[in-house]
Amino acid sequence: AQKVTQAQTEISVVEKEDVTLDCVYETRDTTYYLFWYKQPPSGELVFLIRRNSFDEQNEISGRYSWNFQKSTSSFNFTITASQVVDSAVYFCALSEAGTSGSRLTFGEGTQLTVNP
């Protein structure tokens, strides 16, 4: 069965600190996709990144960076120089092959609070 574990339930940092959100996944599929979403207090899940299982290159987008390590089944997310606006719940998700196409399995989320 597919599983996504975000062991950090809550993280609190002070503005300008760097913070890493951990994501560990389990799957038997050889082809899969990993995602990160941000959920601010308004409720909408905002798509951040999609990575396929064959591409282990790290990615950087502004203050955001992602470290995909297949050997440890991890897909960690780092925010550099955090800002108050980064406060949100962050979800890691795994796309698995289902009988009717792929479906997303979400982790339980990490509540990030960035204090001024």
Partner 1 sequence: ETGVTQTPRHLVMGMTNKKSLKCEQHLGHNAMYWYKQSAKKPLELMFVYNFKEQTENNSVPSRFSPECPNSSHLFLHLHTLQPEDSALYLCASSQETSWETQYFGPGTRLLVL
Does residue 100 interact with partner 1 by CB under 8 A?
A: yes
Of 35, 36, 75, 90, which one interacts with partner 1 (CB under 8 A)?
Answer: 35
76 in Cβ contact with 66 (< 8 Å): yes
Encoded amino acid at 85, one letter: V
Residue showing tokens 């999609």? 50
CB of 15 to partner 1, least distance (A): 26
Does residue 46 interact with partner 1 by CB under 8 A?
A: yes
**By C-beta, is 12 or 47 nearer to partner 1?**
47
- In 3D space, the residue among 55, 90, 48 whose CA is nearest the CA of residue 69 turns out to be 55
46 in Cβ contact with 37 (< 8 Å): yes
Residue showing tokens 């550099």? 80
**By C-beta, is 37 or 75 nearer to partner 1?**
37
Of 58, 83, 102, 115, which one interacts with partner 1 (CB under 8 A)?
Answer: 102
